Structure 1
């Protein structure tokens, strides 16, 4: 099947990742959260059966990790039940599903995680995203669940923008140096989806290459950053110390430093 000739539906098209997916799939049918409430089962099934897509890419999610702790019910509806409804509709429409999950389905007790490792989330966000994975697997066979981490992109609030903002407002910016992962540029990820669609159904770990701490990541963005521990910088939601996703199923993407350079140049154009 040639990707260019198939009908693609992007759900969550106005978000940070969704916006870049729209650039990679310009002819796709695009639905924002105003067009489709993924927590409404009837609406989801009706919309997808009406559109009759060959591929559905779901980029809709509730991604505020600390916010999920306060809004547990909403998190489980959007990140858990919603993907299940989309999967149910895809199964009925005969469509493939590409869905994005997270490194936070793991507890951080291992240095690295491959696709077959057993998830064990330590916060509500991770729990809700894991439920979404399970609901998809229960409802259909032709899925690609893509676990991603530390996203940054031109079209949304992200760590890079937060650092740039704080750097201008504060003498020094404290960032934790004991949590490790892989930063991932949404445009690189969106381009990779074309390849993922053609691969076998299953779970994939897709990130930019290279491992760093949040402090190392921040140091590549701003000059006035100082390291601190997670103990010193308490957050509402507990974070895994290690959420390094290892991709064992596809070719690697470029190093995050290279991707960050493109991002920083792009935002200044």
Structure 2
């Protein structure tokens, strides 16, 4: 089912990537080489009038929104920013897309679920337990209210070459500490941003709706860390308190498209390409 990286460019002649300066945005730019790239310095997506003017001027036929406020604990400290960026802004983007007749691809999160089930399919009812998840759910709802021609891709535990992520954080701590505590009672699916970007090219051609896209394989944060750091030790969430409550299980099940490769294989590629990165 996988599409070549250039296949979408043949169908969509004018692609706009929002959030192009972020970790996922960098990889999307590589997968969609002819796209117009827009970062936060180019457009404040929380400014409704500016969003409308920018998209009406660009006249894209496909908009990929990778812009988000992803600091989960930071969202608890600043819910106003979280709901503006993750909740209201996607609605502004969707309204503008609808006006120009563009298809919208938007990324959401496993944290729209409460973790009371061991796994979640696309049709399961969201019940977020933190501000980040609630703000992302509002974004989904606002998009669905404004347009029909949308693709919402829920994903989880992103790591990539162009931004701060769990892998690099643990690798740094591993070099500077005798041991590092990592929680073993939060379970999900790590996802490599380049694999997600490539899959986005395929899903761009799919029917509208919600899609779950992660690398294959389920693990805890501790098991994930053990794959690349030898000196991690397990702990519980109670032993490692954070501002935002995290779901115990946020395993997304993809029922609509072909699966991605296992996260261990993706991690090996990532480590091979970042081995010399400080």
Q: For 1:136-151, list aligned pairs within 5 A.
A: 136-151=143-158
Q: Choose which of 4, 9, 14 in structure 1 pairs with 2:9.
A: 4
Secondary structure of 2:16's aligned partner: strand
2:229 maps to 1:222: yes
Q: For 1:85-234, list aligned pairs within 5 A.
A: 85-234=92-241
Q: For 1:71-90, list aligned pairs within 5 A.
A: 71-90=78-97
Question: Is this contact kept in 1: 2:8–2:202, CA < 8 A?
Answer: no
2: CA distance, partners of 1:81 / 1:12: 15
Q: CA deviation at 1:186?
A: 0.1
Q: CA deviation at 1:7?
A: 1.1
Q: For 1:65-76, list aligned pairs within 5 A.
A: 65-76=72-83
2: CA distance, partners of 1:22 / 1:159: 22
2: CA distance, partners of 1:189 / 1:207: 7
| Runs of 4 or more above 4 Å deviation | none
Q: CA deviation at 1:268?
A: 2.5
1: CA distance, partners of 2:234 / 2:215: 23
1: CA distance, partners of 2:225 / 2:176: 15
2: CA distance, partners of 1:223 / 1:109: 31
Deviation readout 1:42-63 (Å, 9 max, x if unpaired): 0001100110101000000000
Q: CA deviation at 1:169?
A: 1.1
Q: For 1:228-267, list aligned pairs within 5 A.
A: 228-267=235-274
2: CA distance, partners of 1:86 / 1:4: 21
Q: CA deviation at 1:221?
A: 1.2
Runs of at least 5 residues in structure 2 that lack an aligned partner in the other structure: 1-6
Q: CA deviation at 1:229?
A: 0.4
Secondary structure of 1:194's aligned partner: helix
Deviation readout 1:12-46 (Å, 9 max, x if unpaired): 00000000000001110000000011000000011
- The number of equivalent residue pairs is 268
2: CA distance, partners of 1:3 / 1:237: 38
2: CA distance, partners of 1:217 / 1:256: 9
- After superposition, the CA RMSD in angstroms is 0.7
1: CA distance, partners of 2:64 / 2:168: 26
1: CA distance, partners of 2:176 / 2:56: 49
2: CA distance, partners of 1:14 / 1:191: 17
Q: Choose which of 21, 30, 33 in structure 2 pairs with 1:23.
A: 30
1: CA distance, partners of 2:9 / 2:208: 20
Q: CA deviation at 1:4?
A: 1.9
Superposition TM-score, scaled by structure 1 size: 0.99
